[in-house]
Structure formats: structure tokens, C-alpha cells
Amino acid sequence: MTSPVGFTLLQLRYFLVAAERGSMTEASGALHIAQSAVSAAIHNLERDLRVQLFIRRRGRGLTLTPAGERLQQHARELLTRAREIEREARGDGETISGPVAVGCFVTLAPYYLPPLFSECTDRYPGIEIDVVEGETDQLVQALRAGRIDFALTYDLGLTAEMDLRSETIARAPAYVIVAADHPLARQGSVELAELSAEPLVLLDLPHSRDYFRSLIAATGTAPDVRYRTRSYETVRSLVARGLGYSVLNQRPATGQTYGGGEIAELELRDGSPPLEVQIASAKGMTQTARARAVMELLREIGPRPARA
């Protein structure tokens, strides 16, 4: 026989609403119950768990304690799982539906999101995908705060994050782009050292910039960074204008740029390691059935040629 649990799902629900609203009064309004019922439920929850969940300051509302912050994450997962159990018990668990919050590295979005939305609409029309685009650090923060279920990102900056787990679904080798009329444009491949005298147009995103610099530094040369931009397409447009070369990983389906110019792609002969495209999530977080379904779709999409 299993031991009884010293709290209820209702207490957890009241606790979560109070934590989100930062006030017992606002929580009672959102729940349409008396404030005394919310206060009593949270008081009993603190008593049963033998921890203080909130710091209460008159006129300043509620602030979560460290124990309260930990419980907030666990309570969200537990209530989500409880809803899934309820649906399955009622016999409607076969239909996967509801929201899934997905974080996506900004330069991966044009390549992975369109096929993901298309596949998801066909297979799981009841799933609503909400996307948060950002850089690695922003996605890591969103994972830790529980704002997204999982993130699709490069392995850049993830190795030091001990509270995350990740799996590789694709690999993206680095390659060089030059203007279509560049002397090396028809060569097909190149070593980075051959471009050491030319200016570099740098995709200037956190972690990405360090990765691109490291590729060039491995040749024993220092990059001449003449132009910087956080926009993937601006990099391509500057290169098409003949303002330098660049190193990228994801490949569009065409060499045409937004500005009307054209670039040529050159394979790298330097043996540079590819970037790994990964699905990252918080350790210990139980994914919902719908989140798992979306993750599986990304695993299917990942090995395909990554062209928009």
C-alpha cells in the first residue's frame, strides 16, 4: 500500500495562482473564491510540507522563498500530469491537443519551424505551438523559468549547463560564402587560410561569434572583422555586395539575397567540426504527451537537408 500524500492538488493550484499573481487578494479574484480559502489552503500546504513558501510583506504582496520557487516548478509538472491522467481515464487521451511552448535558436527558426508547423498541423491539429525565438542564453533562462517545454538550439554554450539535458538531432557543417563574382566562387571548396587577407562579415551572436572566430584561429590566422551584424540575412547581403566573406552553418535553398545580390557557397576543407542541432530540456521535467509528440516530429525533421 502506498503512503498517503500530505497535500492536495487543489492546494497546489491555489499556491500556483498566488505565486503568479503575487497577492492573496488577486489570487482569490482569479479563482473566484474567498481570500480566506486561498490563505487557509496555502497555510495548510506550508504546515504539511514544513516549509515557508512565501515571504509576506504588508502592502508589498507575496515573494516566493527558494523552497517556494522549487515547489512552483514541481507543482506545474504535477498538475499537468494530473490533467493528462484525467483525460486518459475519461477515454479521450488518444487525441493529443493543447499548447506546447517551444524555444528556437533564432537562425534555426526559418529552417525547422515551417516543416514542424506543417507536420504538426497534419498529424496533431489539436496542438498549438507557441514559439519563443532567441539566443542560447535566452533559451536557457526560459527553460529554467519553465516558460518553454524544450528548446531547439545549437550545442553552443550548453555543455556547461549541468541542469539541462540535450540530444542531437542533426549536424550542420560550417561553410564559406563569398560574392557570386568572387575569384574563388567557382572553386567549390576552400581553406579558411586562403581568405585570411580578406575582411570577414561576422554573424555577431553570443557564442556564435566565438565559434566562427575559433574556426579561423585554428588556421593560425587572425580574422579581419570589418562588419558585424546579428542578422543572418544581412550577413548574406553584405557578402553579396563584395564587402567580405563569411562563415555560416545553415544553408538557404537559394544564393539570392534580400538585397538582390547573389552569393556562392564553398565547402570547407579544414576539417572543422560541425555544429550539433539539439533538443534541450530541463533535467527532471516530465514532458507532456503533446510536447513529446512535437519533439518526435523534430527528430524526424532533423536529418533532412536543412534548407529553407
Average pLDDT value over all residues in the chain: 89
Which residue in the block uniquely carries the three cell numbers 551572436?
A: 205
| pLDDT tens sequence across 51-75 | 999 998 877 789 999 999 999 988 9
State yes or no: pLDDT of 90 exceeds 80. no
| pLDDT score, position 151 | 97
For 103-170, the DSSP string reads EEETTTHHHHHHHHHHHHHHH-TTEEEEEEEE-HHHHHHHHHHTS-SEEEEESTTTTT-TTEEEEEEE
Helix axes 35-49, 9-21, angle to 10 degrees: 110
Cβ 232 vs Cβ 107: under 8 Å: yes
Q: What is the Cα 67 distance to its own chain's centre?
A: 26
Could you tell me how many residues make up the chain? 308
Gap between the Cα atoms of 39 and 98, Å rounded:
31
Is 0.75 surpassed by the pTM of this model?
no
pLDDT over 70, % of the chain: 93
| pLDDT tens sequence across 246-281 | 999 999 989 999 989 999 999 999 888 889 999 999
